[in-house]
Homo-oligomer: A and B are copies of this chain.
Amino acid sequence: MSGYNHLFIPGPTNIPEQVRQAMNLPMEDMRSPQYPELTLPLFADVKKVFKNRNGRVFIYPSSGTGAWEAAMTNVLSPGDRVLMSRFGQFSHLWVDMAERLGFEVDCLDMEWGTGVPVELYAERLAADKAHEIKAVFVTHNETATGVTSDVAAVRAALDACGHPALLFVDGVSSIGSIDFRQDEWGVDCAVSGSQKGFMLPAGLGFLSVSEKALEAAKTARHMRCYFSFDDMIKTNDTGYFPYTPPTQLLRGLRASLDLMFAEGLENIFARHHHLANGVRAAVSAWGLKLCATEPKWHSDTVSAIRLPEGVDGAEVIRHAYRTYNTSLGSGLSKVAGKVFRIGHLGSLNEVMVLGALGAAELTLLDCGVKIEPGSGVGSAIKQFRSAATASTAKAA
């Protein structure tokens, strides 16, 4: 099929050219004397993205799922009680992992399209006078439904009742794209992966931990070896890894961090918000609804869009891919076939978003959804221009 493939899934995301260049490398020796010149700054700089000053970060040769497991098996012990909530496929998988790894999970099942129920969490924590809950889990951005939750509010709930539980955050599809403040929000384990906001291929799992989590790890009794903090700490401190690291990805990470800092984290967050607003304007112009039930849940990295009754979401995805060389995100699990998703995170600009919306319009029309051709793109354009005007006005 002629022309580029258009990738608008919520990760893996488009790789910037500088990152791609940086990974186009012959093999190199991961035990060379110069290797720490690459790795030591990486550890320091990934921490900056998490806004983690005093803890440390682990970079695993794994997907983000591996970093989830690393967090649980290093910091907690089998049988520990944990407080979780489920409102989408990824929060579901996290709950599932916790159960399989032997934790006692208090899982709050919420409507898909909503996020972490802060008030229910607060109640549970207040009620837990014995502090049996060892950790509280927050899916910062539920990728399946396009819902962002309020991490700071969960921290406040913990503090309000003086609860010592550790705070675990899944930031796979948020960190590096949406505001995240590990120190300020008192997050003990924050997980991310290379293939979303970090704009790299999959293959690196990031786990950023607080000093409190490191302390807890010393007495945790779960079995682990590949993901063990100890081996990592021993070798990372001198710039090496306990097993062969994926050097090409690390070279790419260097390039991607350079790009992120050059743009500035706050500017990245603002850009994601700006672009997401364009997508939401289009959805509204089409007369469709987001899966996220209220504006407060709107995600700036991915929009899950409900399809009218009778339209098969799987067919929408297939048609976009086969006919228009465009990858959209499918509905997963409970919302399979009912939604399609547009990922709008990572290396992205207005024109890419307009292309995505154009592709969506073509596809929706072909699949029988009654929308006005150009309406979504037109609304996004208006939204982009009004924001630009506003920001110019503010600057003046």
Contacts and interface: CB of A to CB of B under 8 A. Distances in A.
Interface in A310-331: 318, 321-322, 324-327, 329-330
B69 A225 contact: yes
A154 B180 CA distance: 54
Nearest to A21: B21
A248 interface: yes
A308 interface: no
B359 A354 contact: yes
B365 A78 contact: no
A358 interface: yes
Contacts of A326: 351
Contacts of A14: 3-4, 26-27
B61 A203 contact: yes
Nearest to A8: B29
Interface stretch (A131-139, A144-152, A159-167, A372-380): A372-380
A29 B13 CA distance: 9
Interface string A67-78: 011000000001
A13 B31 contact: no
Given A9-B31, A61-B63, A327-B29, A349 B3 contact: yes
A20 interface: yes
A263 B96 CA distance: 45
Contact of A362 (B11, B318, B351): B351
Given A195-B244, A347-B2, A379-B374, A61 B271 contact: no
A189 interface: no
A302 interface: no
A1 interface: yes
20 contacts: A1-B349, A4-B26, A7-B26, A21-B25, A23-B23, A32-B321, A34-B321, A69-B226, A223-B223, A324-B351, A350-B362, A351-B362, A361-B378, A362-B381, A362-B385, A365-B381, A373-B377, A373-B385, A374-B381, A375-B378
